[in-house]
Amino acid sequence: MQVEATFTDVPAGPLQLRMSRSSPGRYGLHEFARHVTDVRATDGAGRPLSITRPEPHRWDVDGHAGEVRVSYRVAGDRVDGTYLAISSAHAHINMPAAIMWARGFDQRPISIRFEPPAGASWRIATQLLPGRDSLTFTAPNLQYLMDSPVELSAFALRTFTVADDQRTPVFRVAVHHAGAEAEVDAFTRDVESIVRETRYVFGEFPAFESNTYTFIADHLPGNRVDGMEHRNSTVITSPRALAAGRPDHLATAAHEFCHAWNVERIRPASLEPFNFEDANVSGELWLAEGFCNYYGTLVLRRSGLVSTSEYAREVAAALAGVLAVPRPRSAVEMSRLAPLVDGATGVDTQSLNGYISYYTWGEAVGLGLDLTLRDRTDGRVTLDDYMRALWVRHGRSAAVRPGYVASPYTLADVRKTLAEVAGDEAFAADFFERFIEGRDVVDYARLLSRAGFLLRQRTSPTNRLADPPLEVVPVEQAGQPLTEAQRSFREAWLSSRARNTF
């Protein structure tokens, strides 16, 4: 891809241009500069300018008179949520993998124009804000630009709206694939169910910029399996067709859409603002990522997109990832290890002395906290209440600058919020000290039994390598009666949110 950029009102002295070393939603380093070649710079009159490269990801341009025009080529053939892919079929662009930026220009607005190949009937799917024509878009600052993926192709497009009590956002589903239109229709219906159900968890939709949220789905052979959250969009990629991988595609969509609230707006202070020059270290990924894992599968069950038995199998997989392995570090400590493992290839995680993914441990913590709150209050207080409280305190207020958050949280903040929601400071302190900052786990077997599930070691042989060593089984499938109390508890937990209790 050929990229040309113009920087105006450049202060005297060298202009420092950089390629990112990290990407929003990723926590490890990726060194995107390795794919950049043929870097050239001129001044406003077209005269060549000298370029030095003191670091692998940095180019200094001097001798300008207040304007610098830079051009370069960037290569990519990896379709996922992190990198760049350019082919005759499409351009799949993650901005940090493609766009060179200038240090010190973070708050300047950006105008960007895409030029598809001559004769290509490509459209553009992105959360970037509309510009003067269909090929031109804007971003208010660098943070928003870098958080805005783009798909240019002859994709299939579907739209729908869902209202809450204050607004009616437009949801776009852009699918680049080789399948039938009926597959896109079916996928869109399922995504709409996810959107409707997730809204009830948090009580209302965020104030999406342009009142629009975009699902970008790329499903072609050779793609990587991935999902990546963004402020007003998500990217879902897979080598499998929409219909063939339906459960996995929907789980990814549900997880990533949860992020529209949790992390994109309810954001830990450790990730605000995102640092494009180094790894981003956060001790709160058990909440930022793990709770979206928990709600991703729960929303599928509440939406009726998976059965109770299928949901129970997902719960078993998460619990096996925590209960059946050593726990030498807390969920907070595991979160801080993310830069060492996220997106890494060829990494032996066992060398980390029992690493447990913050996705998995966070999902188990979310399950444990939800069931514990329901158990101790007979269902009057739930994890939904906790997430709504976090939304009100840390997510709802609009920041002065799009792409930023007004009130990022600390670990102490989310602990305090739990105390307020539970009405018990001692309970919140104990839960955090033992199960989040400590290495203990809740009594999942007892808590699940209240909802009519058995947690037990898997004893029956299986032909599926993916089956976990633990299983969670509805009691009625194990030949035991489901009591009315268990049925009521299960119904309140797993059924669709019939009303907005915000």
pLDDT tens digits for range 89-146: 999 999 999 999 999 999 999 999 999 999 999 999 999 999 999 999 999 999 999 9
More confident residue, 353 or 57: 57
Say yes or no to pLDDT of 336 above 60: yes
Cβ–Cβ contacts within 10 Å for residue 301, how many? 21
The residues, ordered by sequence, that sit 6+ positions from 259 with a Cβ below 8 Å of its Cβ are 25, 229, 234, 292
Helices (H), 104-170: 142-146
In this structure, are residues 198 and 299 in contact, taking their beta carbons and an 8 Å threshold? Answer: yes
Say yes or no to pLDDT of 498 above 70: no
* Measured distance CA(456)–CA(458) in Å, rounded: 6
Cα torsion 33, 346, 464, 300: sign: negative
Say yes or no to pLDDT of 494 above 80: yes
Residue 495 has a pLDDT of 95
Per-residue pLDDT of 357-389, as tens digits, reads 999 999 999 999 999 999 999 999 999 999 999
Tokens at 56, concatenated: 């692998």
Residue 81 has a pLDDT of 97
* Measured distance CA(419)–CA(429) in Å, rounded: 8
The order of strands in the sheet holding 58-62 is 50-55, 58-62, 15-18, 101-102
The residues, ordered by sequence, that sit 6+ positions from 53 with a Cβ below 8 Å of its Cβ are 59, 60
* Measured distance CA(261)–CA(68) in Å, rounded: 38
* Measured distance CA(316)–CA(489) in Å, rounded: 19
The residue among 98, 82, 130, 341 whose CA lies nearest residue 235 is 82
The residue among 319, 321, 297, 320 whose CA lies nearest residue 309 is 297
Q: Which amino acid is at 363?
A: E
In this structure, are residues 196 and 152 in contact, taking their beta carbons and an 8 Å threshold? Answer: no
Residue 34 has a pLDDT of 97
Residue 458 has a pLDDT of 86
466 pLDDT band (50/70/90 cuts)? low
291 pLDDT band (50/70/90 cuts)? very high
Residue 500 has a pLDDT of 41
Q: Which amino acid is at 115?
A: E
Say yes or no to pLDDT of 257 above 50: yes
Residue 399 has a pLDDT of 83
Say yes or no to pLDDT of 349 above 70: no
Per-residue pLDDT of 391-402, as tens digits, reads 999 999 988 899
Percent of the chain with pLDDT over 90: 92
434 pLDDT band (50/70/90 cuts)? very high
Residue 397 phi/psi, 5-degree rounding, is -65, 130
69 pLDDT band (50/70/90 cuts)? very high
- The CA-based dihedral angle spanning residues 224, 129, 408, 98, taken in that order and rounded to the nearest 10 degrees: 40
Per-residue pLDDT of 206-217, as tens digits, reads 999 999 999 999
Neighbour-count burial for 230-248, b at 16+ CB within 10 Å, e otherwise: bbbbbbbbbebbbeebbee
Domains and CATH numbers, the chain: 1-105 (2.60.40.3650), 106-260 (3.30.2010.30), 262-502 (1.10.390.10)
Residue 482 has a pLDDT of 97
DSSP-derived secondary structure letter, 95: G
More confident residue, 275 or 467: 275
Residue 169 has a pLDDT of 98
The residues, ordered by sequence, that sit 6+ positions from 191 with a Cβ below 8 Å of its Cβ are 171, 173, 215, 250, 253
**Mean pLDDT computed over every residue of the chain:** 95
Tokens at 214, concatenated: 């975009």
Say yes or no to pLDDT of 461 above 70: no
Say yes or no to pLDDT of 489 above 80: yes
